[in-house]
Amino acid sequence: MAFEHTSILCDEVVTGLVVVPNGIYVDATLGGGGHALAICKQLVEGRLIGIDQDEAAILAATNRLQDFADKITIIRSNYCEVKKQLHQIGIQKVDGILMDLGVSSYQIDTAIRGFSYRYDAPLDMRMDQRQSQTAKEIVNEYSEGKLYRIIRDYGEDRFAKNIAKHIVLERENGPIETTGRLNEVIKRAIPMKFQQNSGHPSKRTYQAIRIELNQELEVLKQSLDEMIELLNPGRRICIISFHSLEDRIVKNAFRKNENPCTCPSHFPICVCGKKPKGKVITRKPILPTQEEMQENNRSKSAKLRIFERL
C-alpha cells in the first residue's frame, strides 16, 4: 500500500516554529513528509533536513517533497543521532526542530508490519526494519516478570500481571508468532466485563511491546537536551506526543531546561551554576481543533508542546 499519513496539528507546528525564509529546520520524524512540506513552502533560501528510520517513509517523503529537492536533505537514521547526522553535513546549529512521535497510519494499516491488533499478521513492530529483534522475540523470550513490567509501565494496563501469565502459559503450546494468536491470549486474560467499554483489549499491550522493542521512551529521554542545544538563540523545538508517557517526558525535559537549578529552595541565591537554556512557550499543550479531530480520529490524543532557546 502507499505510504499515507495525515499530518496532525500541521498549521500549529508551522506557526509554533516561527519559520523564517532563510532558516535551517529539522523534521526529526519525517514520516510521509506532511509537516516537512508545510515548512518547505515557507522557505526561500532556507533548508530542511528530514530524518526517519523507516525506509518506506524515506521513499514516500522523497517523492512528496520532490518539488523542493534543492532545499531538502533526507537521512535514514534514528532521531537520537540528529547531532551526529547534522555535523556530518556541516550543520552546527538549526532554527527549528519538529518531532511527531506518533506511529504513522501507513505503519498501522500495513498488516505485514505487525503494529496493529486489527490484522492477523506476523509479530514485527519494528520502526526500523534493519533491526534484527522483532516483537515476536519479546513475546516469546521475555520472562513473565519482564513482560509484566513492560505491560504495566509502558501499557499502563491494570491486567498486566494476568496478561503476562497467560502469554507464558500459551508459549508452552508453541511460539506465539502472529498478532491474531496474541490477541486471543490477551482476550482470555482480561475479564469480559472490562472489555466491553475499554476499547480493544490488546491496545495497551501492543503499545507496551512496541515501546519496548523500539526503545521509544529511552531514545526520547536521551535526545531532548541535545536537540535543545542544537537550536540557535530565539529558535524553537515543537514536539507532538500521543500518550501520557511521552508527554510527561517532554513536559519534564522542557521544565528542566527552563529551570535547571538544583539548589535547595531555602538557598537565597543559586550556587549550583546551572543556567536556563530557554523558556517553555506552551504552559498547557496545544490540542487539535474539534474540526481536525472529526476529520482525523487519530489526532484526538495529540498534544503539542513548544520550547524556545535563549
Q: What is the 3-state secondary structure (H, E, C) of the chain?
A: CCCCCCCCCHHHHHHHHCCCCCCEEEECCCCCCHHHHHHHCCCCCCEEEEEECCHHHHHHHHHHCHHHCCCEEEEECCHHHHHHHHHHCCCCCEEEEEEECCCCHHHHHCHHHCCCCCCCCECCCCCCCCCCCCHHHHHHHCCHHHHHHHHHHHHCCCCHHHHHHHHHHHHCCCCCCEHHHHHHHHHHHCCHHHHCCCCCCCHHHHHHHHHHHHCHHHHHHHHHHHHHHHEEEEEEEEEEECCHHHHHHHHHHHHHHHCCCCCCCCCCCCCCCCCCCEEECCCCCECCCHHHHHHCHHHCCCEEEEEEEC
Domain span at 299: 10-106+217-309
94 and 61 co-located in one domain: yes
Structurally, the chain folds into a number of domains equal to 2
Among candidate residues 193, 214, 235, the one where a domain is terminated: 214
Q: What is the pLDDT of residue 240?
A: 98
Last residue of one domain, picked from the residues 168, 187, 214: 214
The Cβ of residue 266 has, within 10 Å, a number of other Cβ atoms equal to 5
Same domain, 232 and 173: no
The verdict on residue 116 lying in a domain is: no
Same domain? For 170 and 223 the reply is no
Asked whether residue 3 is assigned to any structural domain, the reply reads no
Torsions phi, psi of 239, nearest 5?
-130, 125
Q: Is the domain of 168 the same as that of 138?
A: yes
Query: What is the predicted pLDDT for the residue at 106?
Result: 85
216 closest CA partner among 181, 180, 173, 245: 245
Enumerate residue ranges in the chain where pLDDT < 50: none
Task: Encode pLDDT of 163-194 as tens digits.
Answer: 999 999 999 999 999 999 999 999 999 998 88
Which of 111, 115, 112 shows the shortest CA–CA distance to 125?
Answer: 115
Residue 156: inside a domain, yes or no? Answer: yes
pLDDT at 194: 83
> 10: closest CA among 56, 42, 55?
42
4 within a domain of the structure (yes/no): no
pLDDT, position 67: 97
Per-residue model confidence (pLDDT) at position 179: 97
Is residue 122 a part of any domain in this protein?
A: no
The pLDDT tens digits of the residues spanning 192-230 come to: 888 777 789 999 999 999 999 999 999 999 999 999 999
Note whether 187 and 239 are same-domain residues.
Answer: no
Same domain as 249, residue 171: no
If asked whether residues 225 and 196 sit together in one domain, one would say no
Q: Would residue 111 count as lying in a domain?
A: no
Last residue of a domain, one of 214, 238, 254: 214
Is there a single domain that holds both residue 183 and residue 101? Answer: no
Give residue 14's pLDDT: 96
In this prediction the pTM is: 0.93
Which cell numbers in the block locate residue 218? Answer: 529511552
- pLDDT for residue 5: 62
The answer to whether residues 231 and 202 belong to one domain is no
Q: Is residue 138 part of a domain?
A: yes
CATH number at residue 276: 3.40.50.150
Per-residue pLDDT at 4 = 58
Identify the CA nearest to 212 among candidates 158, 162, 167, 154: 154
In a domain, 120, yes or no: no
The total of other beta-carbon atoms located within 10 Å of residue 117's CB is 19
Q: What is the CATH number of the domain that holds 174?
A: 1.10.150.170
